[in-house]
Each structure stands twice: as C-alpha cells, then as structure tokens.
C-alpha cells in the first residue's frame, strides 16, 4: 500500500502514518480486511471500504469538486 501511495507522489509516507489510519477506520466500521495466504511470508491483509465509508467518500468527492471550482475562480480573478 505504501509503495502504491509513493507512485501517486506521496514520497514521504511511512508505515507509522498509514497503519494507524487503517486501524482507526477499521475501529469505526469504515474499513474491513481479509487475510489471504502469501507465497512470500505471512498472510497479507487486503482492505476494502465498507458501504458507510464509500458513501462518505462520495460526499467528500462532491465537496472537493466544489472547492476546486471555487479556488479556480479565485485564482482566475487574482491573475487578472
């Protein structure tokens, strides 16, 4: 997971940052995991968002889109 985040540009992300967040989401019922066997060591956890978190994420995306449009307008106006 950390390697994947790094491919998106989060180069300074550490396990000490990611795993506590995953644990909090799991404790809140917003994330679940399944352990699957691995050929390279102990079983690995595969995470999935619960429906509750998917709905919250959808709302976040809508809010983020609105925020982007507003900031874009502000930057546009300040460039004139």
Res 42 pLDDT > 90: yes
pTM of the predicted protein model: 0.65
| C-alpha separations of 77 from 18, 31, 57, 63, 69 in Å | 38, 41, 30, 21, 12
Domain extent listing, the chain: 1-49, 55-80
Task: Please give the Cα distance from 41 to 7 (Å, whole number).
Answer: 24
The residue assigned the tokens 């950390």 is 2
Region 1-49: CATH code? 1.10.10.10
pLDDT at 58: 93
pLDDT digits (tens, 9 = 90+) for 6-36: 999 999 998 899 999 999 999 999 999 999 9
Mean pLDDT of 47-67: 94
pLDDT at 79: 84
């Amino acid at each position: 997971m950390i390697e994947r985040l790094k491919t998106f540009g989060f180069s300074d992300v550490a396990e000490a940052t990611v795993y506590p967040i995953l644990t909090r989401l799991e404790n809140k019922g917003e994330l679940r995991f399944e352990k699957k066997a691995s050929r390279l060591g102990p079983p690995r956890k595969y995470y999935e968002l619960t429906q509750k978190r998917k709905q919250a994420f959808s709302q976040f995306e809508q809010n983020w889109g609105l925020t982007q449009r507003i900031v874009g307008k502000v930057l546009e106006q300040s460039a004139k």
